[in-house]
């Protein structure tokens, strides 16, 4: 209970600081406030993108390089549902999530499971191969043209206290946070979640208490893919994407994880928001074309200067 | 209840168990004594399904279990207290115990078994919210046994329960094991031959992957060869 209170107070303090900073910006530099707000909104999405990758890494110790391509797949599926059937991406996301879950489950079941018993770096190569395969598939199905979704309400804005906020970005951010909280509940409050945690702490011990550890790997990989698809759907309403966008996405997700230093969900949210702000402020200063380069630079700088991240422990 | 026949177990090309056969009857407390690297852990790992034999068979209540994975073997009613305890250090005592009752059959009896475990190990009840990694060695061993009991086993496998514990604690653990035998069949693997011979009804001796002796404990304690090799007298 005590730990919970401490964490609550800590989060409240951070929230208050952020609000105070925003209020100051409001009066001092309105331009910058918009940039920062944009960063905050996109930060939720970054955290969501990082979540699935962190889960798979935490449980299976596999760096799933195909995670970004799975996000792109989620984006293309949303695009398909919208252009072929006119289904709004905020609705079709409930289809994209289970589709990606099944895909992830199947990939682990038929592919990763078979190579996991070989050497340690084999699964990473498989993930890399998967990324290449997915990219080619996207090219085949949807061509190399950049795609984006233009919804009837794409230009809509929310106006709060004289501030205009993009409706789609706001909804995407809220849904991201909902997704993050859902996963936290699954992991901490359900039997399956606790079993997945047990497997990640000690594989052999988990087997010995009667957990089907390989099944938990399949579930974890499926959940990771489902969350990639979730993030991808949300991205499709905000950004343009193309078959090869996956690499930039996975690097961004990695940057969030490295910055957070732990797979804890609160840490990922804060790191996502921090990265979002750094990126949008940086883009304003040196130009929008450098956005991806900025997250890559953050990734490298954190590794160089503070390898334990914001919330991790050294060693 | 458990019958192991002509078991040959390998790690890759290296054979570790040679033609191992033995039996555990219902309600018995059987000890398997062997020195370092005799193959004791390998044997228990094979029974629980972590390893699979190259040849030979393991039957439990008439079922062949030698090709089942651990979660299936546990579901059938075999439970293990592994070497080095293998707790989930970042989880609390209570969470460790709850994970012990993961199988479907164990979940049905979770409250009943939890009360039983807390009755046998009152120290665990006092510390149920403490992280497992912060318990003392003796408490950790109790938790490992408690977690195994939560699986509602009919056969309990114990891998060196005395390992790394102070002499007083060792005595305590062994008397607890003797008590546990009132409601569960036990197969215990030990290096501490003196203590094992004291609590077990029957004993097998494993040397370099082979069973070299077997017999009633009372009879083996009197044996000169055993006294010299294992009891240091
Ligand atoms: N994973 C493994 N791969 C290869 N060889 C192994 C492996 N585990 C154990 N061995 C070898 O198998 C033999 C038996 O080991 P085992 O752990 O079963 O012995 P033990 O009787 O439990 O010993 P101890 O009393 O030290 O626990 C040893 O020679 C050991 O080196
Ligand atoms: Mg051993």
Residue A197 pairs in a beta bridge with: none
How distant is the Cα of B219 from the closest Cα of chain A, in angstroms?
Answer: 34
Q: Is B48 in Cβ contact with A209 (below 8 Å)? A: no
Of ligand 1's atoms, which has the minimum distance to the CA of residue B83?
27
Q: Determine the average pLDDT of the residues in B28-50.
A: 93
pLDDT at B150: 95
Q: Over pLDDT 70: what percentage of chain B?
A: 99
- Measured between alpha carbons, how far is A119 from B78 in angstroms, rounded to an integer? 31
Which of chain A's residues have a Cβ under 8 Å away from the Cβ of B71?
Answer: 207, 210-213
The answer for A 159-198 residues in CB contact with B (under 8 A) is 191, 194-195, 197-198
Tokens 């038929």 locate to: A110
**pLDDT of A186 above 60:** yes
Residue B93, both tokens: 């005592």
Answer whether B139's CB lies under 8 Å from B127's CB: yes
Would you say residue B83 lies in a domain? no
**pLDDT of A123 above 90:** no
- Measured between alpha carbons, how far is B49 from A214 in angstroms, rounded to an integer? 14
Answer whether B4's CB lies under 8 Å from B47's CB: yes
- Measured between alpha carbons, how far is A255 from A47 in angstroms, rounded to an integer? 10
- Cα angle A150, A228, A185 (rounded to 5 degrees) comes to 115
pLDDT at B6: 94
Helix axes A89-107, A213-236, angle to 10 degrees: 150
Low-confidence winner among A11-15, B98-102, B106-110 (lowest mean pLDDT)? A11-15
**Distance from Cα B159 to the centre of ligand 1, integer Å:** 13
- Measured between alpha carbons, how far is A172 from A45 in angstroms, rounded to an integer? 7
Q: Tell whether B55 and B92 lie within a shared domain.
A: no
Q: Determine the average pLDDT of the residues in B94-110.
A: 92
pLDDT at B112: 93
Q: Is B100 in Cβ contact with A209 (below 8 Å)? A: yes
**Distance from Cα B209 to the centre of ligand 1, integer Å:** 10
The average confidence (pLDDT) of chain A is 87
**Domain stops at, among B108, B126, B152:** B152
Would you say residue B159 lies in a domain? yes
Which of chain B's residues have a Cβ under 8 Å away from the Cβ of A1?
Answer: none
Tokens 């207290």 locate to: B81
Low-confidence winner among A21-25, A199-203, B57-61, B71-75 (lowest mean pLDDT)? A21-25
**Domain stops at, among B110, B126, B152:** B152
Q: Tell whether B142 and B158 lie within a shared domain.
A: no
Would you say residue B72 lies in a domain? yes
Residues of B with CB under 8 A from a CB of A: 48, 50, 69-71, 74-75, 80, 82, 86-91, 95, 98-100, 102-103, 106, 147, 151
Neighbours of ion ligand 2 (CB under 5 A): B 40-41, 83
Q: Tell whether B22 and B48 lie within a shared domain.
A: yes
Would you say residue A69 lies in a domain? yes
Each residue's pLDDT tens digit, B120-160: 999 999 998 999 999 988 899 999 999 999 999 999 999 99
Of ligand 1's atoms, which has the minimum distance to the CA of residue B45?
18
**pLDDT of B95 above 50:** yes
Q: Is A198 in Cβ contact with B71 (below 8 Å)? A: no
**pLDDT of B210 above 60:** yes
- Measured between alpha carbons, how far is B63 from A305 in angstroms, rounded to an integer? 58
Helix (H, G, I), strand (E, B) or coil at A314: coil
Closest residue on chain A to B145 (Cα) = A209
pLDDT at A315: 39
Q: How many residues does chain A have?
A: 315
Q: Determine the average pLDDT of the residues in B84-92.
A: 91
**pLDDT of B222 above 60:** yes
Helix axes A167-189, A265-286, angle to 10 degrees: 150
**Domain stops at, among B112, B127, B152:** B152
pLDDT at B80: 96
The boundaries of the domain holding residue B117 are 88-152
Q: Tell whether B53 and B10 lie within a shared domain.
A: yes
**pLDDT of A246 above 60:** yes
Would you say residue A29 lies in a domain? no
Closest residue on chain B to A192 (Cα) = B102
Each residue's pLDDT tens digit, A275-311: 998 888 888 888 777 777 887 888 888 888 877 777 7
**Distance from Cα B191 to the centre of ligand 2, integer Å:** 9
pLDDT at B93: 94
What pTM was estimated for this model as a whole?
0.87
- Measured between alpha carbons, how far is A219 from A196 in angstroms, rounded to an integer? 8
Residue A228: pLDDT band (50, 70, 90) is very high
This complex has an ipTM of 0.92
Residue B26, both tokens: 């219902």
DSSP run (H or E) holding A102:
helix A89-107
Would you say residue A240 lies in a domain? yes
Would you say residue B48 lies in a domain? yes
Would you say residue A124 lies in a domain? yes
Would you say residue B68 lies in a domain? yes
The average confidence (pLDDT) of chain B is 91
pLDDT at B223: 75
Closest residue on chain A to B100 (Cα) = A209
pLDDT at A83: 92
Residue A161, both tokens: 């206290």
pLDDT at A52: 92
Mutate one of B11, B90, B99, B143 to test the A interface: name it (highest A CB count within 10 A).
Answer: B99
Q: Determine the average pLDDT of the residues in A95-119.
A: 85
pLDDT at A8: 79
Q: Tell whether B23 and B108 lie within a shared domain.
A: no
- The number of domains in chain B is 2
Each residue's pLDDT tens digit, A57-89: 988 888 899 999 999 999 999 999 999 998 999
Residue A159: pLDDT band (50, 70, 90) is confident
Q: Tell whether B160 and B73 lie within a shared domain.
A: yes
Would you say residue A166 lies in a domain? yes
Identify the CATH number of the domain in which residue B171 sits: 3.40.50.300
Q: Tell whether B29 and B117 lie within a shared domain.
A: no
Q: Is A209 in Cβ contact with B99 (below 8 Å)? A: yes
Residue B57: pLDDT band (50, 70, 90) is very high
Would you say residue B82 lies in a domain? no
**pLDDT of A313 above 70:** no
The boundaries of the domain holding residue A78 are 40-143+159-244
Of the two residues A208 and B213, the one the predictor is more confident about is A208
- Measured between alpha carbons, how far is A148 from A295 in angstroms, rounded to an integer? 22
pLDDT at B41: 95
Q: Tell whether B109 and B120 lie within a shared domain.
A: yes
pLDDT at A120: 59
Ligand 1 contact, B192 CB (< 6 A): no
Would you say residue A274 lies in a domain? no
Ligand 1 contact, B36 CB (< 6 A): yes
Ligand 1 contact, B82 CB (< 6 A): no
Residue A53: pLDDT band (50, 70, 90) is very high
**pLDDT of A251 above 70:** yes
**pLDDT of A1 above 60:** no
pLDDT at B233: 62
Q: Tell whether B116 and B144 lie within a shared domain.
A: yes
Name the residue at shortest CA distance from atom 10 of ligand 1.
Answer: B11
Q: Tell whether B148 and B105 lie within a shared domain.
A: yes
Q: Tell whether B121 and B105 lie within a shared domain.
A: yes
Q: Tell whether B67 and B92 lie within a shared domain.
A: no
Q: Determine the average pLDDT of the residues in A214-238.
A: 94
- The number of domains in chain A is 1
């Amino acid at each position: 209970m005590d730990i919970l209170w401490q964490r609550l107070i800590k989060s409240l303090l951070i929230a208050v600081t952020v609000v105070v900073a925003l209020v100051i910006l409001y009066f001092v530099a309105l331009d910058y406030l918009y940039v920062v707000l944009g960063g905050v909104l996109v930060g939720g999405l970054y955290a969501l993108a990082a979540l699935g990758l962190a889960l798979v890494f935490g449980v299976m110790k596999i760096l799933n390089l195909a995670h970004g391509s799975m996000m792109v797949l989620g984006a293309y599926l949303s695009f398909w549902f919208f252009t072929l059937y006119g289904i709004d991406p905020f609705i079709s996301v409930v289809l994209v999530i289970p589709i990606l879950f099944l895909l992830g489950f199947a990939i682990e079941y038929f592919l990763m499971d078979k190579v996991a018993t070989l050497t340690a770096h084999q699964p990473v190569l498989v993930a890399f191969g998967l990324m290449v395969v997915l990219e080619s598939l996207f090219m085949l199905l949807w061509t190399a043209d950049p795609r984006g979704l233009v919804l009837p309400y794409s230009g809509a804005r929310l106006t709060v206290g004289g501030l205009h906020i993009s409706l789609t970005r706001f909804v995407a951010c809220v849904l991201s946070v909902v997704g993050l909280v859902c996963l936290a509940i699954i992991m901490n409050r359900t039997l399956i979640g606790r079993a997945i945690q047990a497997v990640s702490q000690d594989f052999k011990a988990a087997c010995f208490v009667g957990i089907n550890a390989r099944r938990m790997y399949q579930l974890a990989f499926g959940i990771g893919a489902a969350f990639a698809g979730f993030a991808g759907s949300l991205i499709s309403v905000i950004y343009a994407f193309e078959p090869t966008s996956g690499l930039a996405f996975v690097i961004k997700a990695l940057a969030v994880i490295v910055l957070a230093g732990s797979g804890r969900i609160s840490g990922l949210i804060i790191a996502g928001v921090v990265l979002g702000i750094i990126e949008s402020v940086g883009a304003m200063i040196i130009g929008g074309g450098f956005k991806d380069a900025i997250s890559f630079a953050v990734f490298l700088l954190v590794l160089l200067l503070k390898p334990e991240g914001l919330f991790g422990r050294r060693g | 209840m458990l019958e192991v026949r002509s078991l040959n177990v390998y790690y890759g090309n290296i054979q570790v168990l040679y033609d191992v056969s033995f039996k555990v009857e219902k309600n018995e407390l059987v000890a398997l004594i062997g020195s370092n690297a005799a193959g004791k852990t390998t044997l228990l790992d094979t029974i629980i399904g972590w390893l699979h034999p190259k040849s030979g068979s393991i039957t439990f209540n008439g079922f062949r279990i030698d090709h089942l994975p651990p979660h299936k073997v546990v579901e059938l009613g075999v439970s293990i207290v592994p070497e080095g305890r293998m707790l989930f250090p970042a989880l609390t005592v209570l969470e460790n115990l709850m994970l012990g009752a993961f199988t479907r059959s164990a979940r049905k009896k979770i409250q009943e078994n939890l009360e039983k475990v807390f009755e046998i190990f009152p120290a665990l009840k006092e510390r149920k919210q403490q992280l497992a990694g912060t318990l003392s060695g003796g408490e950790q061993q109790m938790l490992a046994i408690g977690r195994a009991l939560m699986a509602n086993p009919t056969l309990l496998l114990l891998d060196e329960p005395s390992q790394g514990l102070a002499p007083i604690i060792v005595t305590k653990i062994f008397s607890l094991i003797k008590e546990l035998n009132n409601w569960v069949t036990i197969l215990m693997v030990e290096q501490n031959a003196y203590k094992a011979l004291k609590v077990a009804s029957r004993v097998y001796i494993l040397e370099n992957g082979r069973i070299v002796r077997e017999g009633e404990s009372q009879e083996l304690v009197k044996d000169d060869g055993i006294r010299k090799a294992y009891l240091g007298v």
